[in-house]
Structure 1
Amino acid sequence: MTSVNTNYGALVALQSLNRTTSELSEVQQRINTGLKVSSAKDNGAVFAIAEGQRARVASLGAVADGIDRATSVIDVGLSAGEAIGDILKQLKDKAVAAQANDLSQDQRDALQADFDALRDQVDQIANAATFNGSNLVNGTNLTGGSSAFSVLTSDIGGTSGSYELVNSAFATLYSSTATIETANGALTVGANDELAFTITNGNETTTFTVDVDATDTIQQFVDKVGTASGGRVTATYDDTTGAITYHSSEDFTVTYEDGAGAGVDDDGFFDDTDGATGKSFDVVAAPGAGSNELTVSGFDFRLGTAGQALAGFTSSLDISTASGAATASDAIDTALTNLNKDMATLGAQAKALDVQKSFLGKLTDSIEAGIGNLVDADLAKESARLQALQVKQQLGAQALSIANSAPSIVLSFFR
């Protein structure tokens, strides 16, 4: 049917042209931004994932900045320690010189004056070794105190340590070579007895079964636990306490059933008279929730501080006599030894922070690469698509023009 009111061909051509124009606009947007997903409208799920990962990249950057500040605090402390060590060496030189018996009192007084002047600089250096309000060498940030210096090493706390089940299954045993039985004889191990470990990891639950044999030695049973679970649960035996302990980095429960379907009695020993089928032991977390912080060891390098490196080096040391100089020399040797130990601790912690920062850098790069995989546009592909869509748009416009001219044929019917 020919009609001037309805031009179906033009409608179809217009719809096709609109689709092409929309696709062309999308390609131009991707070329302009370099992103195939630049807003939630493009792909809501991918956009949400990418935004979450971008937030994590930002938090990792903040953690890295914190590590840089902590490293600077440690570096300042190390510089102070090195300076104090140099002073101690000079003091050692004065103390050794003062041990000579041929010195006059004036010479000893001069050595004592130099000794006192050098000694007074120690506390000044320790107190000045502050960076961003933190000082690791003057006692203000001692480990274990309320002002202990700590630094974030990760943006996620996670879980450190492991889960342990202590003093339950086969809780009291005769010896590491005995067959499996309790000291009070309550356990009867049969041919169909078994121990089941149920491990929960997220939404996945897996059960491993360990067959219990009455002729097994304790070591054989301990080995069976690790083998049956593929190493996900391990067992250890303490021949001092007579207890078997189960360990895992994943949340787990333990269930015992004998051939008669009995379970565990209330005092923790396996028993074939209890009738509590499939009872699970409680899981105790040890050492507890993980931490994403490192507490940096703080010291006190000031003179005469009890329990610290220079505890024996006090203002009472006097090198004005040969015997006093010998005493001072011994105190300086002890101080140098302790100071070097503390310096080694600080250096090791600085190295650990460097390793952590390097890891965070690699982690950030990996996450950013993952974000790119999700949202970045393939510009070579988009360029080719742009050319095709431009040609398609021109053809669509031509097709629409042809379709629009079709009703004009009606005029020929009335000539």
Structure 2
Amino acid sequence: MATINTNAGAMVALQSLNRTNRDLETVQARINTGLAVGSAKDNGGVYAIAQSMRADVRSYVAVAQSLDLSASTVDVALAGGEAISDTLVEMKEKALAASDTSLDQASRDALNEDFKALRDQVGKIVETAEFNGTNLIDGSKSQIAALASASGSSSITIAAEDLSQGGAVVTLSATASFASAGEASTLVATIETSLNNLNGSLARLGTGSKSLGVHKAFIGKLSDALETGIGNLVDADLAKESAHLQSLQVKQQLGVQALSIANATPSTVLGYFR
């Protein structure tokens, strides 16, 4: 039926063209952003899951930073402990030489001066082995704890090692010196005990440093896996979207032509009256 009041063909063509235009906008947005799900209106469920995973990824950044901070603190403590060990070895050498009963007093006194200088150096090492305000070897801390999970509910704890002179590890006192072969011999034994104790402290700190490094590597892999998972959920397939875009552009052109034809239909009614 020919009519000028209602153009059903034009209405259908317009609806089809509007759908095509909406689809075209969606595809163009996916290509521009690289995301198939860029907001909750695209897919509420997937968007919520992706946002939760993004929050975990951000949290793992904080965990990695905490692990790095603790690792640096432990590494400084290790460096200090190793320097103390090297210094004690030199002190033992001086004391052992001074324990020789055939040595003259002037030579022994000279060795004692060297010994005291090294002794004082141990104290300076303990005082300066600090990172970001934390010193693990001067007795001021009992432990440090690094974040281990995105929820913050678990941590990795590294015990401090008090390497202060006259303590449980470095039993050699901060005022130790010798004036005789016998005193020097006694200090040799004390230094040997300190070195043995120190080896245990260094081993524990080394184990702690390694555990922090291993966990950081795990956190990195976990974060990468989450990033990949997020991509699988929300990333657009650009090759597919590009092909879809070309298809919709052709469909849009055809829709415009169909609408033009439908709009021209009422004018044919005039031909009936000529």
Q: In the alignment, is the contact (CA less than 8 A) between 1:39 and 1:47 conserved in 2? A: yes
Alignment match, 1:79: 79
Whole-angstrom distance in 2 between the partners of 1:106 and 1:378 = 85
Which amino acid is 2:166 matched to? G
Residue by residue over 1:287-337, the C-alpha shift from the partner in whole angstroms, topping out at 9 and shown as x without a partner, is xxxx511221101111102xx211x21145332211101110000000000
Q: In the alignment, is the contact (CA less than 8 A) between 1:35 and 1:377 conserved in 2? A: yes
Q: In the alignment, is the contact (CA less than 8 A) between 2:123 and 2:174 conserved in 1? A: no
Alignment match, 2:156: 294
Whole-angstrom distance in 1 between the partners of 2:251 and 2:174 = 92
Which amino acid is 1:12 matched to? V
Query: What's the secondary structure of 2:156's corresponding residue?
Result: strand
Alignment match, 1:378: 237
Given the alignment, which residue of 211, 219, 225 partners 1:366?
225
Whole-angstrom distance in 2 between the partners of 1:75 and 1:99 = 36
2:194 is the alignment partner of 1:335: yes
Alignment match, 1:309: 169
Residue by residue over 1:56-77, the C-alpha shift from the partner in whole angstroms, topping out at 9 and shown as x without a partner, is 1000011011101111001100
Gapped regions of structure 2 (runs ≥ 5): none
Alignment match, 2:19: 19
2:46 is the alignment partner of 1:51: no
Whole-angstrom distance in 2 between the partners of 1:92 and 1:129 = 22
Query: What's the secondary structure of 1:327's corresponding residue?
Result: helix
* Percent of residue pairs identical: 54
Which amino acid is 1:345 matched to? R
More helix by share: 2
Whose RCO is larger (CA < 8 A, sep 6+)?
2
Q: In the alignment, is the contact (CA less than 8 A) between 2:162 and 2:169 conserved in 1? A: yes
Residue by residue over 1:178-228, the C-alpha shift from the partner in whole angstroms, topping out at 9 and shown as x without a partner, is xxxxxxxxxxxxxxxxxxxxxxxxxxxxxxxxxxxxxxxxxxxxxxxxxxx
Given the alignment, which residue of 198, 202, 209 partners 1:350?
209
Whole-angstrom distance in 2 between the partners of 1:299 and 1:57 = 34
Q: In the alignment, is the contact (CA less than 8 A) between 1:149 and 1:298 conserved in 2? A: yes
CA RMSD of aligned residues (A): 1.1
Q: In the alignment, is the contact (CA less than 8 A) between 2:27 and 2:244 conserved in 1? A: yes
Alignment match, 1:107: 107
Whole-angstrom distance in 1 between the partners of 2:22 and 2:186 = 90
Q: What TM-score does the superposition give when structure 1 sets the normalisation length?
A: 0.65
Once the 2 structures are TM-superposed, how far is the Cα of residue 409 of structure 1 from its aligned partner?
1.2
Q: How does 1:14-413 map to 2 (within 5 A)?
A: 14-142=14-142, 148-156=143-151, 292-305=154-167, 308-310=168-170, 312-413=171-272
Which amino acid is 1:293 matched to? S
Once the 2 structures are TM-superposed, how far is the Cα of residue 104 of structure 1 from its aligned partner?
1.7
Whole-angstrom distance in 2 between the partners of 1:152 and 1:412 = 84
Q: How many residues align?
A: 274
More strand by share: 1
Q: In the alignment, is the contact (CA less than 8 A) between 1:31 and 1:379 conserved in 2? A: yes
Q: Which runs of 4+ in 1 moved over 4 A?
A: none
Which amino acid is 2:223 matched to? T
Q: After the TM superposition, which of the residue ranges 396-405 and 37-46 deviates more from structure 2?
A: 37-46
Once the 2 structures are TM-superposed, how far is the Cα of residue 102 of structure 1 from its aligned partner?
1.7
Q: In the alignment, is the contact (CA less than 8 A) between 1:13 and 1:399 conserved in 2? A: yes
Once the 2 structures are TM-superposed, how far is the Cα of residue 93 of structure 1 from its aligned partner?
0.2
Whole-angstrom distance in 2 between the partners of 1:333 and 1:387 = 81
Q: In the alignment, is the contact (CA less than 8 A) between 1:317 and 1:324 conserved in 2? A: no
Whole-angstrom distance in 2 between the partners of 1:350 and 1:72 = 9
Q: In the alignment, is the contact (CA less than 8 A) between 2:84 and 2:125 conserved in 1? A: yes
Q: In the alignment, is the contact (CA less than 8 A) between 1:111 and 1:319 conserved in 2? A: no
Query: What's the secondary structure of 1:295's corresponding residue?
Result: strand
